[in-house]
Structure 1
Amino acid sequence: MKAILTATRKRLFLILLIATLIGCNSKNKNSILDIQKTTSQKVFSAVIDSINLEINNGDYGLVDRFMIIQNDSVLADFKYKQDYETIVKKYDTTNHQYNFNNTDWHPYYKNSELHTLQSVTKSITSILLGIALDLNKEYNVSSKAMPLIIGNNITLKDEHKQNISIEDLLTMRSGLQWNEETDHNDTTNDCFRLESSDNWIDYVLSKPMEATPGTKFVYNGGATVLLGKIVRTITNKRIDLWAEEKLFKPLGITDYYWKETPDGEIDTEGGLYLKAEDLAKIGSLLLNKGKWNDTQIVSESWVTTSTSPILKDVKPKWRRDMGYGYQWWIPEYSVDGKTRIYAGNGYGGQYLMMAPVHNLIIVFNGWNINSEPKKSTWSVLQDRILPALKIK
């Protein structure tokens, strides 16, 4: 009997010992995790402070706003005051809306907090088209574009244009001849010529074909102008009114401005002005797969496809190789095509960048149009922030 009791006591002792060791080990693990988390936060904070210091030192040129939002919490929000009135005195300030050195329009709209988004407008146009297609199943990205732009009763001289699909326009593979990679003030630049024309849609459609639709990537702001017209045809509303009803109002965005083109359309390739806080809402909408306060604003499938590298290894002259979706740039993606970063990218330093793995949003507004800064804010997320968070 004593032998049995002794054996039982030994087993109980061993069980208690193991439990104690496990408990201690668990505490040690938690302690280590807490230390690692605190260290990571300190490193992250130090990197943010370093970027802010470098912006103040002028390393990134003219930056107006820098925000970081993670898990719906604002981790950084810096505003920078630039004396644009003095800066532009050395440049042409002809008084018309498309002069980028006219401080009535750029970078802030008439001294308000509304900042030009430039080509980030294209990315928002994509969202608005997605909503239109979600609500009208008669059309999809495979639908031919021309009947939605000029109607079915007009015959184009170049029949190849009839084969351009909505998706070809979304992915900058229209096949239209277009040059937008020179300086914006270059009079041979098609964007310069577009914005100088009286009828933007006619200008885009007048361009000859140089490739079969869907085969060749050529960055083309004119393609996004055509997308704006398609939204109007599908919805029977000009895109600014469609945006107000279906995107801005649900997101609580009440202050914004769109540039109107001479022919009464809306500049969907670069004419939207928003506050940085409201631009961040667009990022939050996408990170939440198209939902806002439990309401599906744009379908999850549209968000996923738009922000996926449909095209890989795109080689724009002004950036490193990257992917491209539906009017969204994909600076970093995995071998299997999973998006790690996607972004809207606008002239002068307008960036809305998202890292979905870390539920992270970065907003930059700037106005580097007359000189090249030492460092680019475009590289901040990929080269500075994510390494600090150990996101690969």
Structure 2
Amino acid sequence: MRTIKTLTFSILLIVALIACNSKNKDKESIKSTQKVTSQNGLSAVIDSINSEINNGDYGLIDRFMVIQNDELLADYKYKQDYETSVQKYDTTNHQYNFNNTDWHPYYKQTELHTLQSVTKSITSILFGIALDLNKDYNVSNKAMPLLTGYDTDFLDKQKQNISIEDLLTMRSGIQWNEETDHNDHTNDCFLLESSDNWIEYVLSKPMDTIPGTKFVYNGGGTVLLGKILRTITSKRIDDWAEEKLFEPLGITDYYWKETPDGEIDTEGGLYLKAEDLAKIGSLFLNKGKWNGKQIVSESWVSTSTSPLLKNVKPQWRDVTGYGYQWWIPEYTDDGRVGIYAANGYGGQYLMMAPEYNLIIVFNGWNINSEPEKSTYRVLRDRIIPALKINNGV
């Protein structure tokens, strides 16, 4: 039986979707619902953020949602003139050209928004479901024997020792450069997306560290996870997602890019509506349950969103941890998680604060310039302090 909270959330999402299909002028926003009763401080902060977005302080933002206790507190949609904003950039008609407005940020003028690396976090969920249902496999399994159909005779002993968990935590040891701009033609993500066979591209890369010892952000490892999932389930990940995640959550409209070799882009190719992305957040805040049904195990949710690795980006202003393809921007020394998040290029954020049962969704497309303010820090620096004041902390 559907719970009252989930039903309320579903109704509010329908209201939001209807409101967001209304006509709006450039740079105008639509607030479909906002709860203001006992949260006047929070309401003022949300309104301030919305005003700053309209003012351009956060760059090109497409959507801003705040959900607490399965109630939609605020939902703003912003209309941006991307056709004009990318005119000076290369707009070659190709799905991996980020300035091609047929593909970015929306898929062919629909409400489906590119998620970029938020896709990795959803891939992790789907992998967790696969391991929940296939007890012959676990995260300790070596990855290479599960990559069937490829010539792996050339692999060295270190590569043979890569585990599934090493791939989930970005510690494969494979030599990889994804820290430069995506327009850099030496960037491994650019080279991966330009190749005809993504799996072979990743497997052809040499090793540079012992597996399990060093965090190196590597979308190629997530591509391997997608293929391994297919080995475990005998289903391509888009079919697995349809059956095991999207259908149970009522996600009926999505798009997932296919790679030239007939696989699915598990590192950055998923498009969802913001309302459906919020459902993923609700699933995790409810420890893997939806409408009373366990979709992914509570243990997978907990492990995925724990700081298994700490301070993985010392060059960032924030001390950030990493779990199973999820970022943890705020945690204590004893491992208590304040915020966990799925992050994507251009400003795609699904952020959860479990202590406050709070979800924040941002969609944007800041790829050609750096905005004055970062939506990544809105939850930690603006929303949570307002909640603490409301709670008398």
TM-score, length-scaled by structure 2: 0.88
- Partner residue, 1:232: 230
Q: Secondary structure at the match of 2:50?
A: helix
- 1:51 alignment counterpart: 49
**In 2, Cα distance between the equivalents of 1:317 and 1:43?**
33
> Bigger CA drift: 100-109 or 143-152?
143-152
Q: Hey, what's the Cα distance between the residues in 2 that align with 1:282 and 1:64?
A: 19
Closer, same or farther in 2 for the Cα pair 1:90/1:300, shift >3 Å?
same
Structure 1 letter corresponding to 2:48: S
Identity %: 82
**Greater Rg, structure 1 or structure 2?**
1
The counterpart of 2:308, out of the listed 301, 304, 310, is 310
Report the aligned-residue RMSD.
1.5
Tell me the residue number matched to 1:171.
Answer: 169
Structure 2 match to 1:271: 269
Higher helix share: 1
**1:14-53 aligned within 5 A:** 41-53=39-51
Alignment of 1:115 with 2:79, yes or no, is no
2:253 aligned partner: 255
Name which of structure 1's ranges 246-255 and 316-325 shifts more when overlaid on structure 2.
316-325
Match of 1:76 in 2: 74
Unmatched tracts of structure 1, length 5 or more = 1-37
* Contact in 2 for aligned 1:68/1:361 (Cα 8 Å): yes
> Residue type of the partner of 2:264?
I
Instruction: Give the TM-score of the pair, scaled to structure 1.
Output: 0.88
Query: Quick one: distance in 1 between partners of 2:314 and 2:181?
Result: 14
Aligned to 1:358: 356
Question: Could you tell me which residue of structure 1 aligns to residue 60 of structure 2?
Answer: 62
Measure how far apart 1:151 and its partner are.
6.0
How far is 1:157 from its partner?
Answer: 3.1
Structure 2 residue runs of 5 or longer lacking an equivalent are 1-35
Name 1:219's counterpart in structure 2: 217
Equivalent pair of 1:146/1:164 in contact (CA under 8 Å): yes
Residue of structure 1 in register with 2:318 after alignment? 320
Shift of 1:48: 0.2
* Contact residue 319 and residue 330 of structure 2 kept, 8 A: no
Tell whether the 8 Å contact from 2:53 to 2:61 is kept in structure 1 after alignment.
Answer: yes
Q: Deviations over 1:138-186 (max 9, x none)?
A: 0000000011113698433312111000000000000000010100100
Say which of 330, 342, 346 aligns to 2:344.
346
TM-superposed deviation, 1:318: 5.6
Q: CA deviation at 1:39?
A: 9.5
- What secondary structure, in the 3-state scheme, does the structure 2 residue paired with 1:231 have? helix
Tell me which residue corresponds to 1:155.
Answer: 153
Q: Is the 8 A contact 1:40 1:388 kept in 2?
A: no
Indicate if the aligned counterparts of 2:116 and 2:269 stay in contact, CA closer than 8 A.
Answer: yes
Is it true that 1:139 corresponds to 2:137 in the alignment?
yes
3-state secondary structure, aligned to 2:200: helix
Structure 1 position 295 matched with structure 2 position 278: no
The aligned runs of 1:165-204 (5 Å cut-off) are: 165-204=163-202
SS at match of 2:92: coil
Return the alpha-carbon distance in structure 2 between the equivalents of residues 230 and 342 of structure 1: 25
